[in-house]
Amino acid sequence: MTTSPHITTDHDEIRRWIQAHHGAPARDGSGALRIDFLGVATELKHLQWNEWFTAFDERGLALCYPEPHVRGGTSAWFEFVPRARTAAGSVR
């Protein structure tokens, strides 16, 4: 199966993807946005979704993950990319 990068700024889609991978919105000590998978990263501060998405939008970020996503796998590969990078591709 071939996968291609999927890039989105849609808050509902991002929240569903993060929750489907057992993640929670967080930031690290320097203020960088993170996703805390399985709640094991003790150095991260959990945020409310609205606070996390406000920072996400202010920083001009998008979420990139493989599409189609391989269901049943354990991979939660993703990266935050600048929205400017998405100008050449489609953003959902």
Domains of the chain, by residue range, sit at: 4-88
User: What residue spans of 1-92 are helical by DSSP H?
Assistant: 11-20, 49-58
pLDDT bucket at 4, cuts 50 / 70 / 90: confident
Task: Give the pLDDT of residue 71.
Answer: 55
Side chain identity, residue 57: D
pTM above 0.75, yes or no: yes
The band of 23, judged by pLDDT with boundaries at 50, 70 and 90, is very high
Residue type for 24, please?
Answer: A
Rounded distance between C-alpha atoms, residue 14 and residue 1, angstroms:
23
pLDDT score, position 3: 65
For residue 90, which of 7, 15, 14 has the smallest C-alpha distance?
Answer: 7
pLDDT average, residue stretch 60-89: 74
How confident is the model at residue 43, as a pLDDT? 86
Contact 8, 79 (CB under 8 A): no
